[in-house]
Structures are given as structure tokens and as C-alpha cells.
């Protein structure tokens, strides 16, 4: 089994190294935007879109052009990776997985990538990393990096710089532990398992909402682009970063526990975008209960359901398990005892009582049981012959087969 894993660390660069990293990130952003503008211009003129090889030839011309000769100061491989990112963005657009590529803005996701492992040196004993045209960088060595280094991505967030080291290593095919379990996602309870276990929601955004509101109001009173405005903006960014870090940490802990103790996890295929859609409506047809729906949307997005499912997907694959996604329709209205389906079975948000046979249980537990049964049925229909666990890149809800 080939396992790809990334290790992210905060780096402690010198002043000169920070200036260099800002220049390199700016050069990659300039190349991306210039190539995107050039592709749009070709389309308007009726010419065909160039691929990655054609863009690399243009990059060479830009590096030798006197007006953009400063691009030669940046390493060429990260600049080429910016062109690859643009090619991938076009591919995602044509496959209807994303919107049309947009121009990058300074200060948003500034990053650059080194793809050649031969140019990268990792010294874990002294907590140092060597990158071309940057030299040796010290980093906070919080964990051991396992496997062969494949590439390194340098990124900036909230004034701090980070390196993400992607590695590759071969591992024996893992044997899954535990049985199958169904999970019902919710707001009052973040995740309820079919065995009765449940995890309370963290609500990281709600915890910091008052601080964030005060910081945003303070920023609105500052003169735009002034020094005080930049300080207020940095404060807001730190609060958002703290919210995201707390949410990801909580999701990682739960998904690790579940993936290590279960061989198969059945989860609802929830359309988060539709569930969190605004109910404001239009001027001609105004919406109803807009404020209540807005609060519900905020609570749904605060849970991080999609990120939780993404983490479960690759962690179960690492442990030899399966992730099965099932349609969520009627999972909270079906009686697990007699199979009667009715909206009257759901007496309240937390109480389930079957109007046919009188079965009573917590509504979230009933939903998890029905999800588990639907997952078993779907798994039996999809998998035939000799079955092996899916690779880390297998799509959610899909099964890998042999034969």
C-alpha cells in the first residue's frame, strides 16, 4: 500500500528569508494572473487555449523580457507549478467541479511549491529544511516526518509562514479493526453513532463570534489601508485562524477515533450547499423565517460536515476500512423496529416515537441506525467478488474492486 501524507510545520525565517518568500509568492501570483489574462485574450481572438507546455515557453520569454526580468530572481520550478495550478483550474472548470479560474489577489493564500525532491534537504535532527534560493530554514519540529519527501509547499497565514512536506512511503496492507457503524450528523449533536455514542458540537465560530464582531466594528471605523486599519485587519485574521484551527483539531480527533475503531463507517450524503442556502428570496417573492434560517445556516457551516467526511475518507483508507455514503432521505422518519415511515414519528428534534408500533428512542440514534442499515445494503449491492479497501484517492461513497 502506497501512503501519501503531508506534515505541516511553522517555519522561523530570518528577515531576509521572509522578504525572499514574499517575492517568490508574488512572482508565482504574477505568473498565474498573467497566464490567465493571456488565455482569456486568446479566447476572445478565437484562438485555442494553450496547454502547460505552451505556457512554459511563454514563461521562458517572460523571464528574458527586460520588463519582467525580475522573474528570473525566483526559482523556476515554483513558477512552473503556478502554471500547473492554472491548468488544473481549467480542468476542474470544464469538468464542472469548480467555477471559472479567477485572478489571484495579494495577501490571500500566498504560497509557492517546490516539486523536485532532489533540491530539497530535510535535517530533522537539527530542525532545518533547505530550499532553493532560500537556504536553510528552521522550523518547529513538533513531529517526526515519515517517508520519502516528494514536494514542499511554503504558505503564509496571519503573518506566519508554514511548510507542508508531502511524503510517500510503502506500508503493509492494514487490517481493519472493529465492526460497522452508522453516523447521523446534526447541529444539537455533532455526530451520533448507531451504538448510542454521540459527540457534542464544538461551535468554534459561536464561541468567538462576539470577539469577531467587535473586531470587525473596530476595523470599520479605521481609515482604509492606514496602519491602524492593517492592524485591525490582522486581528480579525488571527481570530478567524483560531476558529479554523480549533474546528480542524476537533474534527481530526473525532475522525481518528472513529476510523481506528471501525472497519466500515456509513454516513449521510448531505448536500451542505443546499442545506445552508439562504432563505431571503427575492423582491417579488420574499422568503419566510429568514432570520431563523440564517441562524440555522450559520450553525450548519460551523460544524464542518464536509471536512469531517473528507478526513474520515482518507483515514479509513489508511486503516483498511470503508466509507459508504447513503442518501439521507427518511433516515429520521423510518422506524427501525417495524419500518413504518411517517413524519409524525419525529415528535421533536430529539424524540422519536413510532405512531405504528410505539417504539421510542432518541431521534439521532434512530437516524444513525437507519444510516447503518442503508449503508450495509448499498455496500452489499456495490461490492462483488474479491474486495479490497479503497485507495486514498477513491471518491467518497465509491468502492474499489478487484476482478
C-alpha cell at 150: 516528494
Question: For 171, how many CA atoms within 13 A lie in the half-sphere containing its CB?
Answer: 19
- Count of CB atoms within 10 A of residue 344's CB? 11
Cell of 269: 450524503
Active-site residue, selected from the candidate residues 87, 110, 302, 364: 364
Annotated catalytic residue 47: no
Rounded CA separation 231/192 (Å): 42
* 364 is an active site residue: yes
Using a CB cutoff of 8 Å and minimum separation of 24, what contacts does 277-283 make? none
Please report how many Cα atoms fall inside a 13 Å half-sphere around the Cα of residue 271, on the Cβ side: 5
Strands (E) located in 115-244 = 121-123, 128-131, 135-138, 148-157, 160-170, 180-185, 191-193, 198-199
Q: Which helix (H) or strand (E) holds 114?
A: strand 111-114
Catalytic residue (one of 184, 195, 344, 361):
184
How open is the CA angle 7-247-322, to the nearest 5 degrees?
Answer: 65
Distance CA 7, CA 166 (A): 6
* Cβ 199 vs Cβ 184: under 8 Å: no
Measured in whole angstroms, how far is the alpha carbon of residue 266 from the centre of its chain?
20
- CA-closest candidate to residue 302, choices 209, 215, 167, 223: 209
CA atoms of 165 and 193, how far apart (whole Å):
34
Annotated catalytic residue, options 110, 268, 302, 313: 268
Q: Which residue stretches of 185-271 are H helix?
A: 204-207, 209-220, 227-261
Whether 318 and 147 have beta carbons less than 8 Å apart is answered as no
Does residue 184 carry a catalytic annotation?
A: yes
Closest CA to 68 of 33, 103, 97, 39: 33
Catalytic site residues?
Answer: 184, 268, 364
Amino acid at each position: 500500500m502506497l501512503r501519501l501524507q503531508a506534515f505541516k510545520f511553522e517555519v522561523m525565517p530570518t528577515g531576509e528569508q521572509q522578504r525572499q518568500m514574499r517575492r517568490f509568492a508574488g512572482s508565482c501570483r504574477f505568473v498565474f494572473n498573467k497566464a490567465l489574462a493571456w488565455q482569456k485574450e486568446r479566447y476572445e481572438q478565437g484562438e485555442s487555449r494553450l496547454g502547460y507546455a505552451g505556457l512554459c515557453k511563454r514563461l521562458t520569454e517572460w523571464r528574458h523580457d527586460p520588463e519582467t526580468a525580475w522573474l528570473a530572481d525566483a526559482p523556476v520550478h515554483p513558477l512552473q507549478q503556478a502554471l500547473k495550478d492554472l491548468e488544473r483550474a481549467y480542468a476542474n472548470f470544464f469538468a464542472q467541479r469548480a467555477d471559472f479560474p479567477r485572478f489571484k489577489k495579494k495577501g490571500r493564500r500566498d504560497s509557492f511549491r517546490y516539486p523536485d525532491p532532489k533540491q530539497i534537504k530535510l535535517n530533522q535532527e537539527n530542525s532545518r529544511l533547505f530550499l532553493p534560493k532560500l537556504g536553510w530554514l528552521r522550523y518547529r519540529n513538533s513531529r517526526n516526518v515519515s517517508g520519502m519527501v516528494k514536494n514542499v509547499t511554503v504558505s503564509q497565514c496571519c503573518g506566519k509562514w508554514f511548510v507542508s512536506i508531502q511524503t510517500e512511503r510503502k506500508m503493509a496492507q492494514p487490517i481493519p479493526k472493529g465492526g460497522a457503524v452508522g453516523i447521523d450528523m446534526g447541529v444539537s449533536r455533532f455526530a451520533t453513532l448507531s451504538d448510542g455514542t454521540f459527540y457534542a458540537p464544538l461551535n468554534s465560530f459561536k464561541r468567538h463570534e462576539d470577539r469577531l464582531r467587535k473586531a470587525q466594528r473596530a476595523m470599520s471605523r479605521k481609515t482604509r489601508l492606514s496602519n491602524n486599519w492593517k492592524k485591525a485587519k490582522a486581528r480579525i485574521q488571527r481570530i478567524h485562524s483560531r476558529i479554523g484551527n480549533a474546528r480542524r483539531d476537533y474534527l481530526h480527533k473525532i475522525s481518528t477515533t472513529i476510523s481506528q475503531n471501525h472497519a466500515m463507517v456509513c454516513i449521510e450524503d448531505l448536500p451542505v450547499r443546499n442545506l445552508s442556502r439562504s432563505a431571503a428570496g427575492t423582491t417579488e417573492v420574499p422568503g419566510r423565517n429568514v432570520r431563523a434560517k440564517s441562524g440555522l445556516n450559520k450553525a450548519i457551516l460551523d460544524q464542518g460536515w464536509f471536512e469531517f467526511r473528507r478526513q474520515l475518507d482518507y483515514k479509513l483508507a489508511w486503516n483498511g476500512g470503508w466509507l459508504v455514503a447513503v442518501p439521507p432521505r427518511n433516515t429520521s422518519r423510518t422506524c427501525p423496529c417495524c419500518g413504518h415511515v411517517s413524519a409524525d414519528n419525529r415528535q421533536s428534534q430529539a424524540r422519536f416515537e413510532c405512531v405504528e408500533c410505539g417504539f421510542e428512542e432518541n431521534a439521532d440514534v434512530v437516524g444513525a441506525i437507519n444510516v447503518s442499515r442503508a449503508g450495509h445494503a448499498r455496500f452489499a449491492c456495490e461490492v462483488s467478488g474479491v474486495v479490497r479497501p479503497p485507495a486514498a484517492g477513491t471518491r467518497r461513497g465509491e468502492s474499489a474492486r478487484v476482478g
